[in-house]
Amino acid sequence: MDRPIYMDYQATTPVDPRVLEAMLPYFSEKFGNASSGSHAFGWEAQAAVKRAREVCAAVIGAEPMEMVFTSGSTEGIGLALKGAAETCVPRGRHIVTCATEHPAVIDTARYLAARGFQVTWLPVDGEGRIDVAELAAALTDRTILVALMAANNEIGTLHPLAEIGRVCRERGVLFFCDATQGVGKVPIDVRRDEIDMLSFSAHKLYGPKGAGALYVRGKDAPVRLAAQCQGGGQERGMRPGTLNVPGIVGLGRACEVAAEELATEAARLTRLRRRLHDGITRALTGVGLNGPAEPRLPGNLNLWFEGVDAAALMMEMKEVALSAGSACSSTEREPSHVLKAIGATDRQAHASLRFGLGRMTTEWEVDRVVELTVRGVRRLRESAP
Ligand code: PLP
């Protein structure tokens, strides 16, 4: 059987050949440890890490010295939230986040709640948006941190980062942004948006798995984070351990390519996503959109099909690699917490499919997925009792 059409780009992305090419020498002849200061192998690795740090910082408008390399977003989120909570304790123990965050944020907030922190969970409207006035009203003089994502991985909602940042900065509260789905896809600028910490992963950005970065504001009132493991003092002591040089080089190259292509790729993916949506809704009735029409993460479409079980639909459409929700919860039959938060019923949530489009998606693939979706939904509806 031919490989399925890949439409799960919010779960992960393939490594771009340009990224792979940049990484390869760092597995073989350029294998040095970036902490080895006494010989050419180390200097070569150090120079590559320095260059990657510059491009990773540039893609979000940060300074190179503000970037902490991690193994990916989950680690960056844990370090930011736990590390900031620990250092801010004298000021307060109140954290604000939102019902539609990724489990990496939700579970870390719950972890902190179990250790004496108070967490306010902001609700969202029917399209996954928070109300910034409600956020402002939730802040108290004991609030230390607000954690809100840039772009939702399931329904593509974009949070108004600049508005959130302004409210947090005015009240002296740290703003952490999980930008795993946003970096390189939508414009983000940590200075303009007044973001204090921001996490992202290479593997959502056509880079390798196991590499990521956390931006921690280091200029004008630097943010202090308590390290979550101890060791050799790398990454300003915040994330000690031998650096993953090939992964970091890959992350850097991935950021460079994404920055160069952001505007054209966002426009292309928006056009392809509309083509997919229009193609399906022209042929079928009883199709609803989860999340906003616009603005939206360009490569994300999440639809629900009246009277159809999404798991059964995926079985009908084996030629397409899709997901019923986030990759992490797609093996569970629990309705997605994101869909529940936007007010979807269990029936709607179980009838929902996420189409994730990306850099390698073609018009032909989109048209084929329209055909297969329409055929699959019709078959299931015809065979329904
Ligand atoms: N945050 C969001 C919004 C995500 O989509 C993901 C991955 O699905 C993560 C965090 C976790 O990223 P990683 O798997 O790289 O640790």
198 pocket-lining for ligand 1 (C-beta < 6 Å): no
Distance CA 24, CA 247 (A): 10
- Give the number of the atom of ligand 1 that is nearest the alpha carbon of residue 326: 8
Tell me which of 257, 279, 294 is where a domain ends.
Answer: 257
Instruction: Say if residue 186 is in the same domain as residue 101.
Output: yes
Instruction: Say if residue 232 is in the same domain as residue 288.
Output: no
pLDDT confidence bin for 324, thresholds 50/70/90: confident
Catalytic residue status for 229: no
Instruction: Say if residue 198 is in the same domain as residue 320.
Output: no
Tell me which of 215, 239, 257 is where a domain ends.
Answer: 257
The mean pLDDT value of the chain amounts to: 95
What tokens does 109 get? 């907030």
* Dihedral sign (CA 328, 158, 76, 200): positive
Q: Which of 9, 101, 188, 204 to mutate to test the pocket of ligand 1 (most atoms within 8 A of CB)?
A: 204
* Higher pLDDT pick, 265 / 329: 265
Tell me which of 257, 276, 300 is where a domain ends.
Answer: 257
Distance 73 CA to ligand 1 centre (A): 6
149 pocket-lining for ligand 1 (C-beta < 6 Å): yes
Convert the pLDDT of each residue in 249-302 to its tens digit: 999 999 999 999 999 999 999 999 999 999 999 999 999 999 999 999 999 999
- Give the number of the atom of ligand 1 that is nearest the alpha carbon of residue 149: 3
pLDDT attached to residue 327: 41
pLDDT attached to residue 330: 47
Total of domains in the chain: 2
Distance 288 CA to ligand 1 centre (A): 26
Convert the pLDDT of each residue in 81-95 to its tens digit: 999 999 999 999 999
pLDDT attached to residue 334: 80
The residue among 208, 210, 191 whose CA lies nearest residue 255 is 208
Instruction: Say if residue 175 is in the same domain as residue 38.
Output: yes
Instruction: Say if residue 191 is in the same domain as residue 169.
Output: yes
End-to-end CA distance of the chain: give it in Å, rounded.
32
Instruction: Say if residue 155 is in the same domain as residue 245.
Output: yes
290 pocket-lining for ligand 1 (C-beta < 6 Å): no
pLDDT confidence bin for 328, thresholds 50/70/90: very low
> Which residue's C-alpha comes closest to atom 8 of ligand 1?
11
> Which residue's C-alpha comes closest to atom 4 of ligand 1?
180
pLDDT confidence bin for 102, thresholds 50/70/90: very high
Decide if pLDDT at 306 tops 60.
Answer: yes
- Give the number of the atom of ligand 1 that is nearest the alpha carbon of residue 178: 1
Could you list the residue range(s) of the whole structural domain that residue 167 is in?
Answer: 17-257
330 pocket-lining for ligand 1 (C-beta < 6 Å): no
What tokens does 120 get? 């306010």
180 pocket-lining for ligand 1 (C-beta < 6 Å): yes
Q: Kindly report the CATH number assigned to the domain that includes residue 112.
A: 3.40.640.10
Instruction: Say if residue 226 is in the same domain as residue 277.
Output: no
* Dihedral sign (CA 332, 333, 339, 343): negative
Please pick, among 88, 168, 229, 328, the residue that the annotation labels catalytic.
328
Distance CA 51, CA 341 (A): 41
CB 195 within 8 A of CB 185: no
Instruction: Say if residue 267 is in the same domain as residue 369.
Output: yes
Q: How many CB atoms lie within 10 A of CB 98?
A: 24
Decide if pLDDT at 326 tops 80.
Answer: no
Q: Kindly report the CATH number assigned to the domain that includes residue 315.
A: 3.90.1150.10
Distance 74 CA to ligand 1 centre (A): 6
Sheet hosting strand 287-289, strand order edge to edge? 287-289, 300-305, 352-356
pLDDT attached to residue 221: 85
74 pocket-lining for ligand 1 (C-beta < 6 Å): yes
Instruction: Say if residue 117 is in the same domain as residue 21.
Output: yes
Convert the pLDDT of each residue in 19-64 to its tens digit: 999 999 999 999 999 999 999 999 999 999 999 999 999 999 999 9
Distance 67 CA to ligand 1 centre (A): 18
Convert the pLDDT of each residue in 214-235 to its tens digit: 999 998 889 999 999 998 889 9
Distance 13 CA to ligand 1 centre (A): 12
In degrees, rounded to 5, the angle at the alpha carbon of residue 36 between the alpha carbons of residues 34 and 42 is 60
With pLDDT > 70 as the criterion, what percentage of the chain qualifies? 97
Instruction: Say if residue 295 is in the same domain as residue 234.
Output: no
157 pocket-lining for ligand 1 (C-beta < 6 Å): no
297 pocket-lining for ligand 1 (C-beta < 6 Å): no
pLDDT confidence bin for 325, thresholds 50/70/90: low
pLDDT attached to residue 385: 73
Give pTM, 2 decimals: 0.96
CB 242 within 8 A of CB 33: yes
The residue among 80, 116, 119, 78 whose CA lies nearest residue 96 is 119
> Which residue's C-alpha comes closest to atom 12 of ligand 1?
73
Instruction: Say if residue 245 is in the same domain as residue 326.
Output: no
State mean pLDDT over 325-347. Answer: 77
177 pocket-lining for ligand 1 (C-beta < 6 Å): no
- Give the number of the atom of ligand 1 that is nearest the alpha carbon of residue 201: 15
Instruction: Say if residue 154 is in the same domain as residue 270.
Output: no
pLDDT attached to residue 369: 98
- Give the number of the atom of ligand 1 that is nearest the alpha carbon of residue 153: 5
72 pocket-lining for ligand 1 (C-beta < 6 Å): yes
Convert the pLDDT of each residue in 343-375 to its tens digit: 999 999 999 999 999 999 999 999 999 999 999
100 pocket-lining for ligand 1 (C-beta < 6 Å): no
Decide if pLDDT at 99 tops 50.
Answer: yes
Convert the pLDDT of each residue in 146-188 to its tens digit: 999 999 999 999 999 999 999 999 999 999 999 999 999 999 9
- For residue 268, give Cα distances in angstroms to 202, 265, 274, 358: 21, 5, 10, 9
Decide if pLDDT at 331 tops 60.
Answer: no
